[in-house]
Amino acid sequence: MATLIRRTGAVLLSLTLLISATAAVAQTPPPPNPIPMVVIRTSHGDIGLGLSIYRAPVTVCNFLRYVEAGHYVGGRFFRTVVARTNDNPNPIDVIQAATPAGSDDAGFGPIPLERTRDTGLTHRIGTVSMARDGPDSATSSFFIVVDDAPALDFGGARNPDGQGFAAFGFVTGGMAVVRAIQALPATNEVIDTPVMILDVELATPFPNQCRR
């Protein structure tokens, strides 16, 4: 009789542990959806991007609106900034792209600036970020960082207002293409023969959070 009680107790304990484990799994939130991935196809090769939608949702969704609408097709990487040849007191290494309408393309209108202070993103090698003039003025033009550039972060002095730029993604492949573009001949930072953007493809489903 005592053996039966012990076995019954063991079964009950196993069932209790199983129920507890099941409840714990049920309470564990599902993993977030994969981040959006984009491929920029240029006349010099492909550049893959991962977009930090959970840290910079406004900027990522803005960028993806232009991608979905095909606004970057026919655009160009038109600008190269090389620190060693730059007389700015806060030198940076970047390449900049724009739609066919140019870097002043009003596009879908300006967006709020998602500061690196708030997103936790920084301008390191391979970071993709939005070009802007004043705060809350970015529209469609973006740039890729070729070497670490803390002067582009919040509090940095590259922009006199000290608000930094909105980093929103990173290069996942094709950094050699980025460096090759930066090394192209240029006059006053304008690439002599701009690099054409042939297509920009979203390699993952369009994020639901961008359709709200």
Number of domains in the chain: 2
**Element at 15 (helix H, strand E):** helix 2-27
Residues 120, 185 share a domain: yes
Residues 43, 13 share a domain: no
pLDDT-derived band of residue 32, with 50, 70 and 90 as boundaries? Answer: low
Residues 79, 55 share a domain: yes
Give the model confidence (pLDDT) of 156-179 as tens digits: 999 999 999 999 999 999 999 999
Residues 181, 106 share a domain: yes
- For residue 18, the model assigns a pLDDT of 40
Residues 201, 96 share a domain: yes
Residues 145, 162 share a domain: yes
Tokens coding 67: 């991608």
Of 24-33, 104-113, 195-204, the least confident: 24-33
Residues 109, 52 share a domain: yes
Give the model confidence (pLDDT) of 50-77 as tens digits: 999 999 999 999 999 999 999 999 999 9
Mean pLDDT score across all residues of the chain: 88
Q: Is the pLDDT of residue 8 over 80?
A: no
Give the model confidence (pLDDT) of 80-100 as tens digits: 999 988 778 899 999 999 999
Residues 22, 54 share a domain: no
First and final C-alpha spacing in the chain: 64
Q: How many CB atoms lie within 10 A of CB 96?
A: 21
Residues 66, 8 share a domain: no
Segment 185-192 shows an average pLDDT of 97
Residues 121, 24 share a domain: no
Host domain of residue 41:
37-211
- For residue 33, the model assigns a pLDDT of 64
DSSP string over 154-193: TT-SSSTTS----EEEEEEE-HHHHHHHHTS-EETTEEEE
Looking up residue 191, the CATH number of its domain turns out to be 2.40.100.10
Tokens coding 144: 């890729």
Residues 133, 80 share a domain: yes
Residues 7, 48 share a domain: no
